[in-house]
Amino acid sequence: MGLLKDKVLINGEWVSAATKATFNVKNPRNGSIVGAAPHMDASDAAVAIEAANEAFKTWQNVTADQRSALLRKCVADCAEEAKRIKGEIVSSPHPGKKCLIERQPIGVVGLITPWNFPLLLTARKIATALAAGCTCVVKPSEDTPLSTLSVIQLAEDAGVPKGVINVVTCDRANAAQIGKALCESRLIAGISFTGSTVVGKILYQQCASRIKRLCLELGGNAPFLVFNSANIDKAVETARVCGIVEEAKSRGANIVTGGQPAKEAGKLFYQPTLITNVTKDMQVYKDEIFGPVVSVTKFKTEEEGVAMAVDTEKGLASYFFSQDVAQIFRVSRLLQSGTVAVNDGMGGSPLAPFGGIKESGIGKEGSQYGIDECCYIKSITIGDL
């Protein structure tokens, strides 16, 4: 089957919205239309949730080896972890008793994804759920639904059974009602969301109605510290963020280079920009910047650098460059973020968890810790032994 879809998969069938409504998906480079996807609503979501709930009854009993083999065929991520969902047996204070501690899949999970990294984030969320033995309903971003649908076609081709992965697409206008349907459904056991802090807070509130498991990977605003001992060439090569330049200019920032839209490349392009004299009150200092903008603030001592880096409500990732081993250990511990990259701009490994602290979210994605988000831990006491 082709990978460019205009329907979504629900209960093993590629279907349209019940109303037949669609929305256009645009190429952000020039605004041209690349395809269309179903513009669904909460009633379509309810059908998808039912299908996932029905499929869970059998999928939860599929062996870890079978789940692993399927994941290896389509998204690979988590394929090995599926086989390593372990339990423990602990002793009891009472004679003739043992206590088993077992991880079980929580049930149907709702996966809501953003426009950035549409393949990676979708594949990882789906793989984590399936590895744990959960089924899912995926709600991709309105900007990038086609990438999600192509991943799901690959999963179907690999033989993932019907109802295990279901998708609901919609334009932005219906995102809130579908989000609410997922958060408030009695059949959904947990939500995994990547996106803005504003929407994350809405979902957190909605999930409270059923004390629902929630994993939030929200916005970040990563500090990038370059200490005296750093390899400066490497640090410069590794840095790239995005931002709001005019406001910084009006508050006295100095635009060293760039600072204008790159009109020759297209309407949505911006020149690579370097800003100095950046102060704490500027948006470019405080906000997550999606664009080729680097803002530079000087610091003199390690204490001052770290204090500036942690003076934010966000805590997704931090970066620093140093060749001083003691400083590497010290600063890694002091930075307040879920991940820290030292002398590296990428960080991470499929075996390491990813996720923020503070207003950057709760819970972890990827690795055995991500799978734990899709499991609950049950204690089973056995007597008469």
Binding site for ligand ADP (CB under 6 A): 112-115, 139, 141-142, 172, 175-176, 179, 195-196, 199, 202-203
Which of 68/169 has CB closer to ligand ADP? 169
Q: Please provide residue 322's backbone torsions phi and psi, each rounded to the nearest 5 degrees.
A: -160, 150
CA atoms 227, 233, 236, 239: torsion sign? negative
Residue 201 C-beta: closest distance to ligand ADP, Å: 10
- Give the single-character DSSP code of 261: B
Residue 196 C-beta: closest distance to ligand ADP, Å: 3
Tokens coding 46: 């309810």
Give bridge partners of residue 104 from the DSSP assignment: 376
Residue 269 C-beta: closest distance to ligand ADP, Å: 19
Q: Please name the residue that has the structure tokens 């991470």.
A: 348
Residue 69 C-beta: closest distance to ligand ADP, Å: 30
CA distance 108 to 119: 21
| Cβ-proximal residue to ligand ADP, closest one | 179
Which of 77/171 has CB closer to ligand ADP? 171
Q: Please name the residue that has the structure tokens 């929305």.
A: 23
Active site residues: 217
Q: Please name the residue that has the structure tokens 């993932």.
A: 160
What size, in residues, is the chain? Answer: 385
Q: Please name the amino acid found at residue 237.
A: E
Query: What Rg value do the Cα atoms of the chain yield, rounded?
Result: 23
Which of 71/108 has CB closer to ligand ADP? 108
Nearest to 354 by CA among 344, 342, 366: 366
Which of 64/176 has CB closer to ligand ADP? 176
